[in-house]
Structure 1
């Protein structure tokens, strides 16, 4: 069996380890993160070039199934994979880690709505953890931002008052408490990425009574099979009914 694994997440690497070497795994990474952790098996780095590029690649490199284990907010590649697999009749699965329960968080549907909420609520010192691509929605804000990202955001997207903290998880609860306290944070803005690696910031915010603005994750395309665990993905790949 050969599968295309759309990866870049811890779940994708765990799935590649679980399958390799019995299954030929070709992991595809977007290439946006420098020095990424590489999964077991073959690796390709870089985009496909949209729907047509992915369709061409899958035609030239036949696979038995496609597993999408990308970040829950990688909506474009998820939509492209769903469309191409439907067109080609390829078995297709989305492995999506469970979302965090929102609790008392202010739920919003986009980075732009999160920026509007920051302004409406009058927050002045914001811990922004939506990733480098989400920073632009806040560039006209009057608040001060502690921006945590793996790679530096483009300078023209940055708000006037900010500090960039380059960092890569996993994060510890005690460290997150210190970040919130030392920077006098009065609001946390995050995406509902789910998972344990970045969960401690939510626990720290709850302990300190810091309000959370949470961007809800995009919906998976209609009709696409979804599982929440690596074990379920392995079971699906092993099933003749897939």
Structure 2
């Protein structure tokens, strides 16, 4: 019998891995964004109830391996997964996508958390937020001299001093130039997510001489095995599945 894998996802890398999995493996999503309909593996939507709830799930579902391919900034989910795996004596693997690195001509302003973002934005008038949903919780705090453009997965009406764009990458340099110009963007706010799907904004910011307020990655738990790309994880999973079939 093939050992069951629990894939913790929500990123494009995770979806690439999920498309290689069949029954009886499970692809777990927090519930944000669209649920893919073209997968052979089971799809689970929603939380587990913290580390203890996840540990119970691992035992009840006879999970033999957890692969954490969540967003690099989903620190709490990763911490819960590592603790649950330790408690349940289940191997914990992690996909740690390489962060972007500043290039010649970049003007990155590194910050920690939302308070750091707001402080760094004080001199600017037309920021573009590419942080996901977080700015939506602060729409009532937009300073009178600023107008925010917020790009995330969720449609939202915004208000007089904020425009919300619901869009999903990959984004192109041409599209980013058009957005930056039409919205009169004077600073870009980003997480250092890594990957190619949303990197065009950094290239266009460099090209246009715009600063980037970059949120540092949170610390993540140690993994028993780490991968830098989805393909590395897919190859390792294929080898382990084959070994389990031959056992």
TM-score (norm 2): 0.86
> CA-to-partner distance for each residue in 1:74-99, whole Å, 9 max, x for gaps?
11111100011112221111112211
Question: Which has the higher mean CA deviation after the structures are superposed, 64-73 or 230-239?
Answer: 230-239
The SS at the match of 1:57 is helix
Gaps of 5+ in 2: none
Q: Flag the 1:40–1:102 CA change in 2: closer, same or farther, 3 A.
A: farther
Q: Deviations over 1:107-150 (max 9, x none)?
A: 1111221111101xx11111111111244357424221011111
Correspondence for 1:133: 134
Contact kept in structure 2, 1:115 and 1:141, CA below 8 Å: no
Distance (Å, rounded) in 2 between the aligned partners of 1:219 and 1:225:
16
- After TM superposition, list the pairs within 5 Å mapping 1:79-158 onto structure 2: 79-103=79-103, 104-119=107-122, 122-136=123-137, 139-142=140-143, 143-152=146-155
Report Cα offsets for 1:177-224 as digits up to 9, x if no partner.
Answer: 010011111100011111111111111111111110011111211355
Q: Could you tell me whether the CA contact under 8 Å between 1:189 and 1:212 is conserved in 2? A: yes
2:18 equivalent to 1:16: yes
In 1, the alpha carbon distance for the partners of 2:14 and 2:130 equals: 22
Change (3 A) 1:159 1:73: farther
Give the deviation of 1:17 after TM superposition: 2.5
| Distance in structure 1 (CA, Å) of the matches to 2:92 and 2:202 | 32
CA-based RMSD: 2.1
- Residue in structure 2 matched with residue 36 of structure 1 by the alignment: 35
Matched residues, number: 232
| Structure 1 stretch displaced more, 24-33 or 122-131 | 24-33
Alpha-carbon distance in structure 2 between the residues aligned to 1:48 and 1:112: 29
The answer to whether 1:4 aligns with 2:3 is no
Tell me the CA shift for residue 229 of structure 1. 1.4
